Amino acid sequence: MSITRSFKASDMFKFNNINLDIWTETYGIGFYLNYLSRWPDICCVQEAPSGRMMGYVLGKAEGQGPEWHGHVTAITVAHEYRRLGLARKMMNFLELVSDEIYKGFFVDLYVRCANKIAIDMYEGMGYSVYRRVREYYGSLGVGKGGRDEEDAFDMRKPLSRDPNRRSIRSNGRDMIMATKSRSDPSTVCFTLHAAAMHVQLRLILQLEHDLSPMPPLPPLHTCRPPFPILHSLEHHTSPQRPHAG
């Protein structure tokens, strides 16, 4: 038995049992807060009756015109809760939101070409390879000879807005493209300045526990750039609730 609920900022204090896994990426705090503030309706957690986190999915909606789509940024389930249908449940959730709320044409995701279990799972759920992206993962220089890059499959599944299945192709595994850039600010793990980290943690606590108002934030110029997340976080302190998209 598990419940599906929204991913909360304080879940970052509880997901070590899930993230300590070679196939699961761990990002900086700002990365998660960016998702929770911009796409709160597409990021969810599976929780056990004990309150222990079992797994989560992070997603977003992006693109323009016929490329408008839902994207699976991360999906992972703790070892002890695998093969219970949790990933299937979370993928169904993300697809439903992408289809009915965001009206996307398709859902896509990136997966390491070596992650056979995940690739088989996605194919079983109706995804197919759209293209192979060279050296999408890695570049930390920690592998043999300083090389640790790995290719990714970009996989897609058409939604109801694409009845003619124009968003997919049958020969995707043969379509190989170079990585444009790994410096998409939403996927970069920033090293946070201590002051900015402090502000972010205070905001987490305030959001979670509805504490009394915080002292004013330090001016942004006192923090070292880049801190795009601070701009989006400031919206949380306004009386209006942030809206998705």
Ligand X SMILES: CC(C)(COP(=O)(O)OP(=O)(O)OC[C@H]1O[C@@H](n2cnc3c(N)ncnc32)[C@H](O)[C@@H]1OP(=O)(O)O)[C@@H](O)C(=O)NCCC(=O)NCCS
| Contact residues: ligand X, CB under 6 A | 21, 23-24, 75-77, 82-88, 109, 111, 115, 117-118, 120-121, 124
Minimum CB distance to ligand X, residue 44 (Å)? 13
Minimum CB distance to ligand X, residue 23 (Å)? 3
Beta strands in the chain (DSSP E): 3-6, 44-47, 53-62, 69-77, 106-112, 128-137, 150-158, 176-178
Q: How far is CA 123 from CA 51, 110, 164, 184, 242, in A?
A: 31, 13, 19, 27, 35
| Residue among 66 and 85 whose Cβ is closer to ligand X | 85
Question: CA 192, CA 157: separation in Å to the nearest integer?
Answer: 36
| Residue among 124 and 219 whose Cβ is closer to ligand X | 124
| Residue among 13 and 23 whose Cβ is closer to ligand X | 23
Minimum CB distance to ligand X, residue 120 (Å)? 6
SS3 189: coil
Radius of gyration, alpha carbons of the chain = 19
Minimum CB distance to ligand X, residue 128 (Å)? 15
Q: Which of 119, 47, 144, 42 is nearest to 86 (CA)?
A: 47
| Residue among 85 and 225 whose Cβ is closer to ligand X | 85
Instruction: Report H helices in 78-176.
Output: 86-96, 116-124
Cis ω before 219 (30° cut-off from 0): no
Question: Closest residue to ligand X, Cβ-based?
Answer: 87
| Residue among 52 and 236 whose Cβ is closer to ligand X | 52
Question: CA 126, CA 157: separation in Å to the nearest integer?
Answer: 6
Residues 19, 245, 118, 160, Cα dihedral to 10°: 160
Minimum CB distance to ligand X, residue 88 (Å)? 4
Minimum CB distance to ligand X, residue 70 (Å)? 14
| Residue among 132 and 161 whose Cβ is closer to ligand X | 132
